[in-house]
Structure 1
Amino acid sequence: MTQTVLLALDTSTEFCSAALVSASVDSAGQPTAEPRVWVRHEQTGAVSSTRLLPAIRELFDEAGLALADCNAIAFGSGPGSFTGLRTATGVAQGLAFGLNLPVVPLGTLLVCAESARLRDPSATRVLAALDARMDEIYWADYAWDDAQHEWRTVQTASLDAPQRLVLPDVPFTLAGNAAAAFGARLPAVAAARSVDGEALPHAVPLAYAALRAFHAGRTVPADQAAPEYIRDKVAQTTAERAAEKAAKAAQAAQTATQAAGHTPDGAPRQAPHGEAKQ
């Protein structure tokens, strides 16, 4: 048995979620007894960055532990809110650098699957689907492997219109908030054996999944921790906006020039053969 202390962070949604777990685990990273868990899960909207560090301090004070007692730091790597993902990544990196600890990045859709299984042990095939805004969903398909005590990825995290989600050919649980967001437009709602709209990104299921990942060696150095955006192009950079504006201005100038009877280089347009000059 090994005693493991792990800090888990998720700010991929409008919630600021942090959990500290102390667990005796076997060689597979499975708790041998009920872990001790301290958690803060608060709806903070867009200001998770101001609440996350105070929440972490509160957890360690409540547990009577110090940051130096940590063995690893896990974070929800996405998909999710761009700003939120950067917040969790940055805090996990900063703490891990300072303590020389490994980092455990875990996808938020897998965390939804873990949440569904914790809430219902029979949820061993989970289609996780989250509202991605812009009339799209983030989704992935997972199957629990009893022999390996781990999730197997059937379909990696994807971004699609609701009707394009691919349904498993076996009974499954639909996890996440996409059912509430899209209703009958999401075919999985009618096809699922059960719908768990409460199985959402949360630091506690993240911590449980991260314990297994940590003991399996699925960690990265702090400088390699990175968000998983999936939708990586929803806004232009300042340079891209300036370039687009300049291109539009140039096109408008060219159109105006041609309309005034000049070629694009400013020279008068030659009258076609047979056309009288004005």
Structure 2
Amino acid sequence: MKLLALDTSSAGCSAALWLGSAEAGLAHERFEIAPRGHTRLLMPMVRSLLQEHGLEPADLDVVAFACGPGSFAGLRIATGVVQGLAWGLNIPVISVSSLAAVALDALTQAGAAHGQRVAVAFDARMGEVYWGCYQLLDGAPVLLGKERVCAPAALAMPAAESSAGDVGGAHARADNADWLGAGSGWALSEQMPVAVTSALAALPSIDLVPRAACVARLAAKQFAAGAGVSAEQAQPVYLRDEVTWQKLPGRE
């Protein structure tokens, strides 16, 4: 498998090339924190990765991207590039949640065991956070409930007995205080309910941002399972319709 993954959903800009099977492949990544540099950096990253491994765009089997939630402008950059590549090369697209990518990163860095849960929060501006809760099952984070955007004070953990694919309660927890936390939204923890903050087993990893290497790993598993959409079906996920900027006085 030759899979190209992109992420421009946050201050980070990254591209990754996944080579090999979903189980045994490796991700080769370019990553840089550049809040306003995504357009300038992304395609040079792609060209560098392909050249390093002696590949041409036509050699790719599939392209993937972090589809959101995240920066509206950033999401549109990756979406446009992925659509262009997929259309020109006639290959499918895999969309990966930005929250899920950070969940995988947090679980991997923690050396988490099967069944470990992680709550990911991104600062969504406008007094809100993007929120998603996941559980590590079969080597990948599985969403518990739904991703959402809301005020920090409105957050809640899934019920302790609720686990993805938990038929018969095999992965039920005796308590709800074993969660990992990740993402910039946890910087707003003072505004979160005590029931949420007290569920963490350790301090949250506030500095984690989505990375293309994690997007690639998740996309490789999806592609191996038969997933993929056409270029025109690849769309960003905003979770809300409002833009994250305000008009200046006198501007229309």
Q: Normalised by the shorter chain, which TM-score bucket? A: 0.7 to 0.9
Query: Aligned residue for 2:57?
Result: 67
For the 8 Å contact 1:184–1:190, the answer to whether it is kept is: no
Q: Distance in 2 between matches of 1:7 and 1:160?
A: 32
Could you say which residue in structure 2 is the equivalent of 1:129? 121
Q: C-alpha displacement at 1:41, in angstroms?
A: 0.9
CA pair 235-152 structure 1, distance change in 2 beyond 3 A? closer
Paired position in structure 2 for 1:174: 181
Matched residue, 1:184:
190
Pairing 1:1-278 to 2, within 5 Å after superposition: 4-23=1-20, 25=21, 29-31=22-24, 35-122=25-112, 124-146=116-138, 149-168=139-158, 169=160, 170=176, 171-180=178-187, 182-187=188-193, 188-194=196-202, 195-234=204-243
Aligned residues: 225
In 2, are the aligned partners of 1:7 and 1:70 still within 8 Å (CA)? yes
1:113 touches 1:199 (CA, 8 Å); kept in 2? no
Q: Which whole-Å CA distance do the structure 2 matches of 1:226 and 1:215 have between them?
A: 21
**When the two structures are superposed, what TM-score results if normalisation uses the length of structure 1?**
0.75
Classify the secondary structure of the residue corresponding to 1:196: coil
Q: Which runs of 5+ in 2 are unaligned?
A: 161-175, 246-251
Distance 2:218 2:111 in 1: 14
Counterpart position of 2:164: none
Which whole-Å CA distance do the structure 2 matches of 1:43 and 1:150 have between them?
A: 25
Q: Deviations over 1:159-218 (max 9, x none)?
A: 0111111124232111111122x1322343332113222432111111111110111122
Displacement of 1:155 in angstroms is 2.2
Kindly indicate whether the alpha-carbon contact (under 8 Å) linking 2:125 and 2:244 is maintained by their aligned counterparts in 1: no
Distance 2:219 2:4 in 1: 9
Confirm or deny: 8 A CA contact 2:2 2:61 kept in the other structure.
yes
**After the TM superposition, which segments of 4 or more aligned residues of structure 1 sit over 6 Å from their partners?**
none
Which stretch shows the higher mean deviation, 53-62 or 113-122? 113-122
Structure 2 length normalisation: TM-score? Answer: 0.83
- Partner Cα separation in structure 2 for residue 36 and residue 109 of structure 1: 21
The percent identity for this pair of structures is 39
Q: Which has the higher contact order (CA 8 A, sep 6+)?
A: 2
Q: Distance in 1 between matches of 2:184 and 2:145?
A: 18
Is this contact kept in 1: 2:11–2:34, CA < 8 A?
yes
1: CA distance between counterparts of 2:112 and 2:147? Answer: 22
Q: Which runs of 5+ in 1 are unaligned?
A: 237-244, 246-278
- In structure 2, relative to structure 1, the CA distance for the partners of 1:230 and 1:189 (3 Å cut) is same
Task: Please state how far the C-alpha of 1:223 moved relative to its aligned partner.
Answer: 1.1
The superposition leaves residues 127-159 of structure 1 with CA deviations (integer Å, 9 ceiling, x where unpaired) of: 11111111110001112223xx44332122100
Q: How far apart, in 2, do the equivalents of 1:151 and 1:209 lie?
A: 9
